[in-house]
């Protein structure tokens, strides 16, 4: 029996032992979408940090090792780019021209906090809608999966639960031979059995209630954009005139890679 646990906020996992789980961290709007997009644009590495000053200190350390201009600082607080940083927290900014071959140090209000909350797991991956299919492919043979949603300011967000539900739904539709029957297939008795917590069940229902017609998955970027704009995180971005980031985050299954974060590689002084 395989296990999938969804945690709507990192704090929901505090009392659970996840040391033998594989973790997936979700912050659709926008941190994990930025991480995935950065790697897709050729970033050498992306390092999530909790504090602004820690990020600045780490940049100095890494530039001594790799050379001036080899490291970029990116991030936000309350959705606003950080003064003195090279980039904000937008998937549109991590273009190949800006980031290819460079290290991005990223610190955000919610996403990088969620990544650090999952650091005791066996492996730590990041997911956005943009790489949902690739994440499912990576996880299909894992026996214990923990999905951490970042939320916004310690509030559960619909956009993160939606992606969690997408992952649970798609994983449940693999055949016994680990062949993905396609996003439109209905579960059947030949597929592996999963057990999941109540949050995973609710997330799965959220996804399938939104994007299933006659037991078939039917999803498009346009429908996702509409949903994301109505979500807590989406409303915040609309208020900040960052609607283009919502559109970028809704490009489902457009990136075929799954970044793995190695927090243990950080300097101990950080």
Tell me how far apart the alpha carbons of residues 107 and 121 are, in angstroms, rounded to a whole number.
21
Q: What is the mean pLDDT of the chain?
A: 92
> Structural domain tally of the chain?
1
* 60, part of any domain: yes
* 36, part of any domain: yes
CATH number assigned to the domain comprising residue 181:
3.90.1560.10
Structural domain range at position 243: 1-12+23-270
* 18, part of any domain: no
DSSP-derived 3-state class of residue 46: strand
* 125, part of any domain: yes
Q: What is the DSSP letter of 233?
A: H
Q: Could you count the other beta carbons within 10 Å of the beta carbon of residue 90?
A: 20
Q: pTM of the full predicted structure?
A: 0.91
When mean pLDDT is compared across 90-104, 230-244, 253-267, the lowest value belongs to 253-267
pLDDT tens readout for residues 144-188? 999 999 999 999 999 999 999 999 999 998 743 454 444 444 444
* 75, part of any domain: yes
pLDDT tens readout for residues 214-252? 889 999 999 999 999 999 999 999 999 999 999 999 999
* 216, part of any domain: yes
* 169, part of any domain: yes
Token pair in block for residue 26: 């979700």
Structure confidence at residue 134 (pLDDT): 98
Segment 81-98 mean pLDDT: 97
């Amino acid at each position: 029996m395989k296990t999938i646990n969804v945690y709507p906020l990192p704090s929901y996992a505090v009392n659970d032992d996840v040391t033998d789980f594989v973790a997936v961290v979700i912050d659709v709007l926008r941190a994990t979408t930025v991480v995935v997009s950065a790697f897709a644009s050729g970033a050498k590495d992306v390092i999530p940090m909790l504090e602004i000053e820690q990020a600045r200190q780490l940049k100095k350390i890494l530039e001594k090792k790799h050379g001036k201009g080899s490291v970029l600082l990116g991030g936000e607080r309350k959705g606003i780019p950080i003064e003195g940083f090279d980039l904000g927290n937008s998937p549109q900014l991590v273009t190949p021209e800006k980031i290819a071959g460079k290290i991005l140090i990223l610190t955000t209000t919610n996403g990088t906090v969620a990544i650090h909350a999952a650091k005791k797991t066996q492996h730590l991956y990041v997911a956005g809608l943009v790489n949902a299919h690739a994440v499912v492919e990576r996880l299909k043979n894992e026996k214990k999966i923990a999905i951490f949603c970042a939320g916004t300011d310690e509030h559960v967000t619909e956009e993160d639960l939606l992606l969690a539900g997408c992952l649970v739904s798609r994983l449940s539709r693999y055949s016994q031979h680990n062949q993905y029957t396609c996003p439109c297939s209905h579960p059947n008795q030949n597929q592996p059995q999963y057990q999941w917590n109540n949050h995973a069940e609710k997330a799965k229902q959220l996804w399938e209630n939104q994007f299933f017609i006659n037991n078939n998955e039917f999803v498009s970027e346009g429908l996702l954009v509409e949903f994301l704009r109505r979500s807590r995180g989406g409303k915040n971005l609309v208020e900040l005139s960052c609607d283009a980031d919502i559109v970028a985050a809704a490009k489902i299954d457009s990136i075929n890679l799954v970044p793995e974060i190695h927090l243990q590689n950080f300097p101990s002084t950080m």
